[in-house]
Amino acid sequence: MNQSQYPSTLLQKAVTEISRLPGIGSKTALRLALHLLKQDVVEVDTLADSIKELRHHIGYCKVCHNISDTDICEICGNSTRDKATICVVENVRDVMAIEGTLQYKGVYHVLGGVISPMDGIGPADLEIESLVERVKLGGIDEVILALSPTMEGDTTNFFIYRKLQDTDVKISVIARGVAQNDELQYTDEVTLGRALAGRVPFKM
Amino acid sequence: MNQSQYPSTLLQKAVTEISRLPGIGSKTALRLALHLLKQDVVEVDTLADSIKELRHHIGYCKVCHNISDTDICEICGNSTRDKATICVVENVRDVMAIEGTLQYKGVYHVLGGVISPMDGIGPADLEIESLVERVKLGGIDEVILALSPTMEGDTTNFFIYRKLQDTDVKISVIARGVAQNDELQYTDEVTLGRALAGRVPFKM
């Protein structure tokens, strides 16, 4: 679809901007733009304003660097959470996923990404130094590395491990193995190999 | 994913608004919101403003009712187009698709939808009356019905046909048959049946 075919520059501009979003091509952007044209002005303004407000006024927790409306986020400010256990994650989505398990009672440290030379992201672009400082302040028993099992995640895990290995904090990494309800025959070799190597005693 | 888990009301509000868009669930909305947080303020403002401007200032052609920045759209205002042939389509996307073929030299009439009682869309909600007036003004040789081959499209075709059958304008409908590069064995029975019934003499 040639952009010069758009019958209106207003439409073309909106489609161009919407299609900058990840995973949204020009056809989807046009569909969304035409949908917005059919909505109430108030609804469209609310959408646009919520996006602007998000970008202009978002805040981050000063302790764990998770997105937060307050200086100290709800998790870091919760007296029932175990402050001696820090779970290191890539972003807020991972925090929400782990919170969703209802299994974790410690606190978090949100890196804001993983080391990825291909994308020009180095250790200095992430909240790694603040993690090291937080551990060195004392009172931390365990740091759980919960990054994605990718090359970038592994690189970041290793980098953090090297930074913390001189402290007496326990460093652990989340278990890797076959996912619940995955079919063994479709599981990739690396995952299956690790699941075998990391086998544990059977318990009923 | 429970909405109360969002660590920020600003984030939650943006995700709620973005996920109102068709085909965008809360997980995609969160991904888009987090993407926007990483972009320049200027870029995010440009996106939000382009959406607002689209909704507030969009205009329609007074002749064919297509989206247009001017009172008369580029196609209706083009002296080389054949004004005696009107192609009736559902929306601007169909105009763009037909323009993309480079095969059509007539003008359009954009209905703004099709008759769909399930969605509460009746003939009065569409630009059907204005089409009838346009034909009755004279100077029209042919009306080509180019709506989607669905029950709603067929209903609308029939409604327009009834409205125009007393005029001496030629009413045609785009050909239905097997699509280019479709495999015959996977073509549905209705399409295949129509393609057989509508067979034409072979030409080299």
ipTM (interface predicted TM): 0.79
Which residue type sits at A155? Answer: T
Q: Which residue has the tokens 């981050």?
A: A60
CB A58 within 8 A of CB A70: no
Query: Cα–Cα distance between B30 and B14 in angstroms, integer?
Result: 8
Question: Any bridge partners for residue A143, and if so which?
Answer: A86, A171
Q: What are phi and psi of B143, to 5 degrees?
A: -115, 120
CATH number (1.25.40.10, 1.10.10.10, 1.10.8.420, 1.50.10.10) of B3-57 reads 1.10.8.420
Cβ-Cβ contacts under 8 Å, A48 against chain B:
48-49, 51-52
Task: Inspect the interface and report whether the beta carbons of B96 and A52 lie closer than 8 Å.
Answer: no
CB A109 within 8 A of CB A65: yes
Tell me whether B95 touches chain A (CB under 8 Å).
yes
Query: Cα–Cα distance between B128 and B158 in angstroms, integer?
Result: 12
Task: Inspect the interface and report whether the beta carbons of B55 and A45 lie closer than 8 Å.
Answer: yes
What is the three-class DSSP state of B75? coil
Segment B24-76, tens digit of pLDDT: 999 999 999 999 998 999 999 999 999 999 999 999 999 999 999 899 999 99
- Which CATH number applies to B82-173? 3.40.1360.10
Segment B130-176, tens digit of pLDDT: 999 999 999 999 999 999 989 999 999 999 999 999 999 999 999 88
- Tell me the nearest-neighbour CA distance from A185 into chain B, angstroms: 29
Residue of chain B whose alpha carbon sits nearest to that of A26: B93
Q: What is the pLDDT of residue B10?
A: 92
Segment A189-202, tens digit of pLDDT: 888 888 888 888 77
Domain boundaries, chain A: 3-57, 82-173
Task: Inspect the interface and report whether the beta carbons of B13 and A54 lie closer than 8 Å.
Answer: yes
Instruction: Tokens for B144, please give them.
Output: 């080509």
Q: What is the pLDDT of residue B91?
A: 92
Compute the mean pLDDT over every residue in chain A, rounded to the nearest whole number. 91
- Tell me the nearest-neighbour CA distance from B104 into chain A, angstroms: 14
In this complex, the residue of A2, A8, A31 whose CB is nearest that of residue B69 is: A8
Segment A85-133, tens digit of pLDDT: 999 999 999 999 899 888 899 999 999 999 999 989 999 999 999 999 9
**Among B5, B15, B21, the residue to mutate for chain A (most A Cβ within 10 A):** B21
Segment A140-194, tens digit of pLDDT: 999 999 999 899 999 999 999 999 999 999 999 998 888 888 888 888 888 888 8
Given a cut of 50, whether residue B3 has pLDDT beyond it is: no
CB A99 within 8 A of CB A110: no
Helices (H), B80-198: 92-101, 128-136, 151-164, 189-197
CB proximity list for B111: less than 8 A, separation 6 or greater:
B65, B88, B89, B90, B91, B126, B127, B128, B131, B147, B156
Question: Any bridge partners for residue B143, and if so which?
Answer: B86, B171
Task: Inspect the interface and report whether the beta carbons of B10 and A100 lie closer than 8 Å.
Answer: no
Question: How would DSSP label each residue in B126-147?
Answer: TTHHHHHHHHHTS---EEEE--
- Tell me the nearest-neighbour CA distance from B165 into chain A, angstroms: 31
Give CA torsion, residues B71, A25, A35, A53, to 10 deg: -100
**Among B3, B9, B17, the residue to mutate for chain A (most A Cβ within 10 A):** B17
Tell me whether B22 touches chain A (CB under 8 Å).
yes
Cβ-Cβ contacts under 8 Å, A10 against chain B:
50, 53-54, 57-58, 69
Query: Cα–Cα distance between B129 and A5 in angstroms, integer?
Result: 27
Given a cut of 80, whether residue B4 has pLDDT beyond it is: no
Segment B92-109 mean pLDDT: 92
Tell me whether A48 touches chain B (CB under 8 Å).
yes
End-to-end CA distance of chain A: 60
Cβ-Cβ contacts under 8 Å, A32 against chain B:
21-22
